[in-house]
Amino acid sequence: AGAGSGPVPGDGAGPPATERVLFPPTFSVSEIKNKQRRHFMFLRWKQQQRKEKLALKKKRRKEREALGDKAPPKAVPKTIENQRVYDETTVDPNDEEVAFDEATDEFAPYFNRQTVPKILITTSDRPRGRTVRFCEQLATVIPNSHVYYRRGLALKRIIPQCIARDFTDLIVINEDRKIPNGLVLSHLPDGPTAHFRMSSVRLRKEIKRKGKEPTEHVPEVILNNFTTRLGHSIGRMFAALFPHDPQFIGRQVATFHNQRDYIFFRFHRYIFKSEKKVGIQELGPRFTLKLRSLQKGTFDSKFGEYEWIHKRREMDTSRRKFHL
């Protein structure tokens, strides 16, 4: 104990003898019973560690520079994206089969500009204020969309009516305990239905920004990181919500960014300050989605043919495996 507390700290007014450090004795900082002294010792130990680390870094950098060209390449840190388990359904940009599939699937008429998207947004029964406001904001973000109240109607009966009135997409926002927590996106003339879990919904007034509301211009769409086949089809579903011809005057962009199976939606207004710099300002709601299931036909929970369901036991086994 006597060997440990060499320079008695007093009230932590560090002794000027930090240079003439008296380590390494064979004690550890945790053996000192006095909390104040122990704390002080620990801080000093930490400082010393930091110094050593800095010195090591400098040395390494000097070695690099000394070697010049012969220096070994910089070590790339491992990230989850780097270590991602290779998914065999990753789409190769030149894959013909994929291109053929996409030319003949349910979105083909949209991508061939034969249909103009018209979207119906609705909620589950008895939506609370937050959900209602979210629906309204979503309706301003997506052009040519209409919000209708549900009033206890069965989805299976709504769908034929929607098809009759020429809607191309149906969005149902499910609500639980006054916050929206689920999204069902269904492409109407018997297109695929995707069911998402929605989280971290921020309404427009909760976003920190000082801009105005989105205008009526058609926004651009950015779809990031949808690599696998499944991701591709989901990406096309999202793209099919927006009209094909964005109005660049509006300078608005809606982004669906997929990262580790979470799809982040943001709505920004951009402005090009110069050739290499662009400024973006967030307006519009934001939310994140996680895909739960994808069905082939329109919404049908009992008899539908599921193309993909998230099965927790099988699919969540590895931390580096993602499906979208």
Partner 1 sequence: PQVVWSMLGNRQFCSYKMTTKTQNFCRNEYNLTGLCNRSSCPLANSQYATVREEKGRCYLYMKTIERAAFPRRLWERVLLSKNYEKALEEIDENLIYWPRFIRHKCKQRFTKITQYLIRIRKLTLKRQRKLVPLRRKIERRENRREEKALIAAQLDNAIEKELLERLKQDTYGDIYNFPIHAFDKALQQQDAESESESDAEREEEDDDDDEDVDKREFVEAEDSELSDFEDMDKLETSSEEEQEEEEEVEKKASHSKSKGKTPLKGPARRKRPHIEIEYEEETEPSTKTKAA
Q: Which of 27, 45, 262, 306 binds partner 1 (CB under 8 A)?
A: 262
Instruction: Name the residue nearer to partner 1 (CB basis): 226 or 308.
Output: 226
Show the binding pattern over residues 153-192: x = contacts partner 1 (CB under 8 A), - = does not: -x--------------------------------------
**For partner 1, the closer CB: 70 or 302:** 302
- Residues that contact partner 1, how many (by CB under 8 A): 64
CB 206 within 8 A of CB 198: no
264 binding partner 1? (CB under 8 A): yes
Q: With contact defined as beta carbons under 8 Å apart, do 182 and 174 qualify?
A: yes
The alpha-helical segments, DSSP class H, found in the chain are: 35-67, 96-104, 108-111, 129-141, 155-164, 229-239, 312-315
Both structure tokens of 149: 């109240």
Residues 14-53: x/- map of binding to partner 1 (CB under 8 A)?
----------------------------------------
Rounded to whole angstroms, the Cα distance separating 135 from 121 reads 7
Query: What is the rounded distance in angstroms from the CA atom of residue 62 to the CA atom of residue 287?
Result: 46
Residue selected from 54, 116, 278, 309 as contacting partner 1 according to rule CB under 8 A: 278
Among 44, 204, 229, 266, binds partner 1 (CB under 8 A): 266
318 is a contact residue toward partner 1 (CB under 8 A): no
CB of residue 165 vs partner 1: minimum separation in angstroms? 22
Which residue from 257, 296, 321, 323 is in contact with partner 1, where contact means CB under 8 A?
257
Closest contact distance (angstroms) between CB of 145 and partner 1 is 17
One residue of 32, 41, 91, 183 binding partner 1 per CB under 8 A: 91
3-state secondary structure of 59: helix
Q: Tell how strand 252-259 and strand 220-224 pair up.
A: parallel
Q: Which stretch binds partner 1 (CB under 8 A): 52-60, 114-122, 133-141, 251-259?
A: 251-259
The token pair that represents 268 in the structure block: 């920004």
- Whole-number Å distance between alpha carbons of 321 and 324: 10
Share in percent of the chain as helix, strand, coil (round to 5) = 30, 25, 45
CA–CA gap between residue 29 and residue 3 (Å, rounded): 12
107 near 115, Cβ under 8 Å?
Answer: no
Among 116, 245, 318, 320, binds partner 1 (CB under 8 A): 245
Binding map of partner 1 across residues 98-137, x = CB under 8 A, - = no contact: -x--xx-------xx------------x------------
* DSSP helix/strand/coil, 211: coil
Alpha carbon distance 123, 129 (integer Å)? 12
Q: Segment contacting partner 1 (CB under 8 A): 25-33, 36-44, 94-102, 188-196? A: 94-102
How far apart are CB 121 and partner 1 at their closest, in Å?
19
Binding to partner 1, residues 210-239 (CB under 8 A): 210-212, 215, 220-224, 226-227, 232, 235, 239
DSSP category for residue 73: P
CB 214 within 8 A of CB 283: yes
Closest Cα to residue 98, out of 224, 234, 228?
228
Q: Quick one: tokens of 57?
A: 């870094």
77 binds partner 1 (CB under 8 A): no
CA 272 to chain centre: 24
Interacting residues with partner 1 (CB under 8 A): 79-81, 91, 93-94, 99, 102-103, 111-112, 125, 152, 154, 199-200, 209-212, 215, 220-224, 226-227, 232, 235, 239, 242, 244-249, 251, 253, 255, 257, 259-262, 264, 266, 268-276, 278-281, 288, 290, 312
